[in-house]
Each structure stands twice: as C-alpha cells, then as structure tokens.
Structure 1
Amino acid sequence: MKFRSVSDSVTSEHPRVTPPKRFSVRVAEWLLDSPRLGDSRNAKHLAGRLLKQPAREGVVAAQSRLGQLMCRECGNARDRRIGQDLLRQAARAGDRRAQRELGLLED
C-alpha cells in the first residue's frame, strides 16, 4: 500500500499578515494620531496599554511613542522618569522623534 505525501501547501500554516506586536503598535499609533481620538484620555490610556509590551520587548517605535506619552501626559515624577528612559533607549536606537523629544525635555 502506497501513501501519498501531503504537499507542503496543505500542512504549512499561512503566515499572518502582521505579527501581533506590530499590530498593537499600529493601532496605538492610529489612536494617538487620530485628530478626534488623540485628545481623549481613554484613547491615550488604551494606546499606552497597547504600547507597553512591545516597548518592553524592544520595539523602538513603541518605546518612542510610549516615552512621549508618559513624559507629556503623566502627572507623577516616576512615570515621567520611565518615559525619559524609554525615549533614551529609542534615541540610542536611532529614532529621530525620540531624539527630538529628548532635546526638548533637556532644554
């Protein structure tokens, strides 16, 4: 009895179009950049939560945007310090927006 081998196209899973990390960063950026939603506290809170894990994993865009959000919107010194650390990490990785924001903070 002969068995036919199953073709690779049947057994392989289809790759996702965007990985979950990148998707959450894109949604957060959309929320923050949206003219009407970007001013909402709830949208900023949600964007911060979406950016937190990718920023921890070293996604430079997430570090930059979360750092900006924490420096501008958070009222306590601890959160601003964490935001500055995130901006420094992103700036070291070459992110222009983070470098510019750090320059504004240090002046």
Structure 2
Amino acid sequence: MKFRSVSDPVTATPPGVTPPKRFSMRVAEWLLDSPRLGENLNVKHFAGRLLKQPAREGVVAAQSRLGQLMCRECGNARDRRIGHDLLRQAARAGDRRALRELGLLED
C-alpha cells in the first residue's frame, strides 16, 4: 500500500502562530502546589526539569520557582548557588516571591 506524503505548507506551523511555551511551567506549578504530590522527591525533580527551559528563556516566575526549589531541595553547593542566582535574577525583575526568599522583602 502506498501512502501519499503531505506537503510542508499543510503540516508546517504558520510563522505568526507560536506554540504555548508556558504549558510546562503551569504543569510544574500545579505539581509543586499540589498537597500530596508536592512532597514527593521524584515529583519535585520532574517539576524542576519542566521549569528549567522557561527559566533559561527568562520567564521570571519559572526562575523564581526553580530557584526556590534548588535552594531548598538540593544537597550540593553548586545547585544551591545556581538557585540563588536564579532567585537574584527573578528579584531584579521584581518578583515578590524571590524577594521574600532572599530576605529583601518583609511581609
């Protein structure tokens, strides 16, 4: 049986339409905020992996959440240092959660 191939213009995403980039961030926040799931170390690790790319792209909320996660949950100094750097970047952008975590903002 022979299959016809579909031409590129039909399957390609139009240049004006961009796929949602923050879906992984929403899933990660949902996992971390979930009472039962948020305590599991494997879930935290998975959420951190989901937050990694948006944080690299400069999404302030992702930088803040990943920074908190790395500072609180990681055992080695390198990861804690990276977490503090992410928190500082988010704090410079005005994220209240990052400012509170760094102790620069009082409730």
TM-score for the superposition, normalised by structure 2: 0.79
Three-state SS of the structure 2 residue aligned to 1:91 is helix
Runs ≥4 in structure 1, deviation > 4 angstroms? none
- Matching of residues 28-107 of structure 1 within 5 Å: 28-103=28-103
The residue identity in structure 2 corresponding to 1:49 is R
Q: Give the structure with higher Rg (CA).
A: 1
The count of residues paired between Structure 1 and Structure 2 equals 91
Structure number having the greater helix percentage: 1
| Distance in 2 separating the partners of 1:27 and 1:41 | 16
SS in 1 for 2:75: coil
Residue matched to 2:10: none
Q: Which runs of 5+ in 2 are unaligned?
A: 1-12
- The TM-score with structure 1 as length reference comes to 0.79
Q: Give the Cα–Cα distance (whole angstroms) in 1 for the partners of residues 98 and 32 of structure 2.
A: 16
Q: Percent identity, please.
A: 86
RMSD: 1.9
